[in-house]
Structure formats: C-alpha cells, structure tokens
Structure 1
Amino acid sequence: MDRDSVDQIVSAWHDRDPDLDASTLQVIGRLLLCAGHFERMAIAALEPYGLSIADFDVLNTLHRVGDRAGSKPTDLARASLITTGAMTSRLDRLERAGLIRRRPDPADRRGILVKLTARGAKVAHRALRALIDVNESYLDPLSTQQRDTLASTLKTLLLRQENLLGTSVPDGSAAAF
C-alpha cells in the first residue's frame, strides 16, 4: 500500500521514541489534512461567485430555510455558531453585493429581517451546486460502501463530541455545506 505523509510522521515518531504510541495520528492527522485539502477546494469552487465559505454559509442558510418573511440576524448567527457582531459583518458584505436585503421586522420595532434577493437566491443555488460537485470530486476515490462506513464512523465521533459539549449545529445552519 502507498505511504502518505501521515505514515511518514508516525514512522518518524516511532524512530524517535519507540515507546510512544502515535497511532492516533493515523486518524486525527488524516482528518485534519483532509479537512485542509477540502477547504482549499471549497474556497476555489466559491471564488467565481465572489463568496467566502462564511458568505456561502449565510446565503445557503437563508436559501435552505426559505422563510418568506426573512430571518433574524440573531437566528442566523446562532445557526452559524458565530457572534452577532461577526454576522453583522457578513450581512453588510452580502448586502453590498446585492445578495441579501435587510428590512424592519414588523413584529419587533428594533429588529430586522434578512432575506435573499432574487440574485442572492441564484448565486446561493449555483454556489451550492459547485460545492456539491467539489464534494463528489473529493469523495470520488471511495466506493458507496466506503462512503457509508466513513459517514457512520464520523457520525459516531461527532455525536459523542456534541453530547459532551452540549452543542450541535442547529437546524437551519449550513456550516459551509
């Protein structure tokens, strides 16, 4: 079997300290490296749309939720697991680009609602298709069975962490996908 960079690192640790069990790096190291490679691919796929991963997250949360009245910025921030200040910066950028519109919330004089513009909905849809294509390209070396096994295994890890931390990605969050 071919050796990857993680095999080389684990082997180097074994040579340096034979009593050190660095086997966890075989999983964690690969998870981190794969995530980094995928993130670079996602950034490249979103670039033609003028979107960062953060912008994509907001647009596609709005697109998926599809609330005709609009969404509250605080709900969007909570769904994206970011501060309201960070959400305001994202919304400012997206509004300047003509992808979203903010309007007063008729149910709350101090609040606003955020809604995709027609252009924003088109960009969100096209960017999502581009990202799904990147997903497919990235996962291409895996069979359907390997994908299912990997998804199930990662779900086990994620559920444990979410339960330990008492967090999960709330319904409506794109989390960049």
Structure 2
Amino acid sequence: MATDSVDRILETWAARDPGLHTGPLEVVGRLRLCNAYLERAIIAALRPFGLSLGEFDVLSTLHRHGVDTGIKPTDLAQSALITTGAMTTRLDRLERTGLLRRIPDPKDRRGVHVQLTEHGEQLVERSLHAVLAADDAFLEPLSRPQRESTATALKQLLVRSEPG
C-alpha cells in the first residue's frame, strides 16, 4: 500500500519517541490534510465564478433555505459560525455585486432580511454544481461502500462533538 505524509510523520515520531501514542494522528492528521486539500479544490472550483468560499457559503445557505421572505443576517452568521461583523462584510460585497438584497423585516422595523437576487440564484446554482463536482472528484478513489462507511464514522464523531 502507498504511503502518505501522515505515515512519514508517524515514522518520524516513532524514531524520536517510540513510546509516544500517535495512533490518533492516523485519523486526525488525515482528516486535517483532507480538509485542506478539499478546500483548495473547492476554492479553485469557485474561482471562475468570482466567489470566495465564505461568499459561496452565504449564497448556498440562502439558496438551500429558499425562503421568499429572506433570512436574518444573524441567522446566516450563526449558520456560518462567524461573527455578525464578518457576515456584514460578506453581505456588503455580495449586495454590491448584485447577488443578494436586503429587505425590511416585516416583523421588526429595525431589522432586515437577506435574499438572493435572480442573478444570485443563477450564480449559486452554477457554482454549486462546480463545488459538488470538486467534492465528487476528491472522493473518486473511494467506492460507494467506502464512502458510506466513512460518512457513518464521521457522523459519529460529529454527533458527539457538535453543540446541542
């Protein structure tokens, strides 16, 4: 079987400190590296659309919810696990480029909701297909049963770690 960078790290640790329990690195190290490589692939897939990963996250969240009345910026920030200030920066740029609009909150005169424009809908649909293709290309070495097994194992980790 081929070796990877995690194998080399483990070999180095074994030579340096043979008693050190490095077993978790076999999984965690690979998870972290896989995340980094996949993120690079997704960023490359989004480049032709002029979107950052964070901007795509906002647009795809709006698209996924498909709410005609829009979504509150605070709810978007919570979904993206970022501050409301960081979300405001993203929303400002996406609004300037005509991909979304802010509309008054029908229940709170001080608040706003965010919704996709027609142009935003079209762009997110095209970019979503590119991102899913990048995801699929990354997973290509795994068979269907391997993908299902990996998804099940990762779900177990997330269920235990996610808040609420």
Once residues 58 and 39 of structure 1 are traced to their aligned partners in structure 2, the CA distance between those partners, rounded to angstroms, is 16
- Is it true that 1:77 corresponds to 2:83 in the alignment? no
Q: CA deviation at 1:19?
A: 1.1
Partner of 1:172: none
**CA deviation profile, 1:46-90 (whole Å, cap 9, x unmatched):** 111111111001001111111111111111112222211111101
Q: Residue 24 of structure 1: SS of its match in structure 2?
A: helix
Note the C-alpha offset of 1:20.
Answer: 1.1
User: TM-score, length-normalised on structure 2?
Assistant: 0.97
Q: Which residue of 2 aligns with 1:138?
A: 138
Deviations 1:1-49 (A, max 9, x none): 1111111110111011111121211111111111000000000001111
Match of 2:159? Answer: 159
Secondary structure in structure 2 of the residue aligned to 1:104:
strand
Q: CA offsets per residue over residues 128-168 of structure 1, 9 Å max, x none?
A: 10000001100000000000000000111111111xxx24x
Instruction: Please list, as runs of the form range in 1=range in 2, the aligned pairs for 1:1-177 lying within 5 A after superposition.
Output: 1-162=1-162, 166-167=163-164
- What is the CA–CA distance in structure 2 between the aligned matches of 1:22 and 1:69, rounded to whole Å? 51
* Divergent runs of 4+, >3 A: none
- Specify the code of the residue in structure 1 equivalent to 2:98: G
In the alignment, the residues of structure 2 paired with residue 34 and residue 81 of structure 1 have an alpha-carbon distance, to the nearest angstrom, of: 21
Give the partner amino acid of 1:85.
G
The alpha carbon displacement at 1:106 in A equals: 2.6
Secondary structure at 1:115's aligned position in 2? strand
- SS at structure 1 position matched to 2:23: coil
Indicate the RMSD between aligned Cα atoms, in angstroms. Answer: 0.9
- 1:118: how far off? 0.4
Q: Aligned partner of 1:68: which letter?
A: D
5+ residue gaps, structure 1, are 168-177
Equivalent-residue separation in structure 2 for 1:148 and 1:46 (angstroms): 26
Whole-Å Cα distance in 1 between the matches of residues 121 and 108 of structure 2? 25
Q: Give the paired residue count.
A: 164
Report the AA paired with residue 69 of structure 1.
Answer: T
Larger RCO (CA within 8 A; separation ≥ 6) = 1
Determine helix, strand or coil for the equivalent of 2:58: helix
The superposition leaves residues 94-125 of structure 1 with CA deviations (integer Å, 9 ceiling, x where unpaired) of 00111001122232110111110000000111
Tell me, what secondary structure is at the counterpart of 2:68? coil
Structure 2 spans left out of the alignment, 5+ residues: none
